[in-house]
């Protein structure tokens, strides 16, 4: 059953990188043997156009780190789904915890962004995950469930089937403190069980990524978990060799 899902590993550069790093990343990946997983690069928005043309002779897919829920108009600084499609993006991250914190993005807004992407033909990578105090209180499942329910309410089963979900416990992001494979698997199994309440096929098809201090040294044991279909990688995606090793650690 598990191999209905193709592994996916996405590199989220956050507000890091440069034209130079992009150039070296593209040169590196254009010379590598094919990778079994879907490999996705999420550079800052200003580099998406350059990334799209330079990645066109590689298998690497392109994703934005965020998108506006609005389709066009007076929204200074924002970027629409149509614009992302126009420059060659296939996907976009929504609801990353850093956006939820830095820009006070609510569960409802994240759900609207996911819906806008689906309507525009792009794949949302919906991020969820609890802060440390919520885990310490033993309330992480209820917290993640509330984040996901907002998205589930906006999308039909057919639309949800296109979504990728990334579980990223906030206490593990950029801290070097990875969730243990057991902690990550437990939450992924919980998310799949929530999906099975909507539709059992959906629960088997949808890809669930783990994110939070994934490195070449711990990727394999995380990705070996039955409900983990790949990862969302921050810091380690800035080093092409390390990112490649993480991509190759995903289940074939």
The set of catalytic residues is 96, 168
- Which residue intervals of 60-179 are DSSP H helices? 81-86, 97-102, 107-119, 132-136, 140-154, 157-160
Structure tokens at 168: 């990223």
Binding flag, residue 180, ligand PGA (CB under 6 A): no
User: Whose CA is closest to 222, among 237, 212, 207?
Assistant: 212
Tell me which of 26, 195, 214, 249 binds ligand PGA, using CB under 6 A.
214
168 vs 202, which CB is nearer to ligand PGA? 168
Contact 126, 85 (CB under 8 A): no
Residue among 92, 163, 234, 247 that touches ligand PGA (CB under 6 A): 234
Q: Does 235 bind ligand PGA (CB under 6 A)?
A: yes
Our finding on whether 124 is near ligand PGA (CB under 6 A) is no
- 251 contact partners, CB below 8 Å, separation of at least 6: 2, 3, 7, 36, 37, 223, 224, 229, 230
Start-to-end Cα distance in the chain: 14
Which residues are registered as beta bridge partners of 165? Answer: 126, 208
Please choose, out of 56-64, 179-187, 193-201, 234-242, the segment that lies near ligand PGA by the rule CB under 6 A.
Answer: 234-242
Element (H, E) at 23: helix 19-30
Residue position matching structure tokens 């792009």: 122
Q: How far apart are CA 71 and CA 119, in angstroms?
A: 10
Report if residue 168 touches ligand PGA, rule: CB under 6 A. yes
Closest distance to ligand PGA from the beta carbon of 83 (Å): 23
Q: Which residue is nearest to ligand PGA (CB)?
A: 234
Candidate segments 106-114, 167-175, 200-208, 240-248, binder of ligand PGA by CB under 6 A: 167-175
Nearest CB to ligand PGA, comparing residues 140 and 202: 140
Give the binding-site size for ligand PGA (rule: CB under 6 A).
13
SS3 69: coil
Under the binding rule (CB under 6 A), the answer on residue 12 touching ligand PGA is: yes
Residues near ligand PGA, by CB under 6 A: 12, 168, 173-174, 211-214, 232-236
């Amino acid at each position: 059953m598990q191999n209905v899902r193709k592994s996916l590993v996405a590199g989220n550069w956050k507000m890091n990188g440069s034209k130079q790093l992009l150039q070296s990343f593209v040169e590196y990946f254009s010379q590598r043997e094919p990778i079994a997983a879907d490999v996705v690069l999420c550079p800052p928005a200003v580099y998406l156009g350059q990334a799209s043309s330079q990645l066109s002779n590689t298998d690497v897919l392109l994703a934005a780190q965020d998108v506006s829920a609005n389709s066009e108009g007076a929204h200074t600084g924002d970027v629409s789904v149509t614009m992302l499609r126009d420059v060659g993006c296939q996907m976009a991250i929504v609801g990353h915890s850093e956006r939820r914190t830095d820009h006070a993005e609510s569960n409802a807004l994240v759900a609207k962004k996911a819906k806008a992407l689906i309507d525009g033909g792009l794949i949302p990578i919906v991020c969820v995950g609890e802060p440390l105090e919520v885990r310490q209180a033993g309330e992480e499942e209820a917290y993640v469930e509330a984040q996901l329910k907002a998205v589930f309410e906006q999308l039909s089963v057919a639309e949800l089937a296109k979504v990728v979900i990334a579980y990223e416990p906030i206490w593990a992001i950029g801290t070097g403190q990875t969730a243990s494979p057991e902690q990550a698997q437990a939450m992924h199994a919980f998310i799949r069980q929530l999906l099975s309440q909507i539709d059992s096929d959906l629960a088997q098809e949808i890809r669930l990524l783990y994110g939070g201090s994934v490195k070449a040294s711990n990727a394999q044991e995380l990705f070996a978990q039955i409900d983990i279909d790949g990862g969302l990688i921050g810091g380690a995606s800035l080093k092409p060799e390390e990112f490649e090793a993480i991509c190759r650690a995903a289940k074939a």
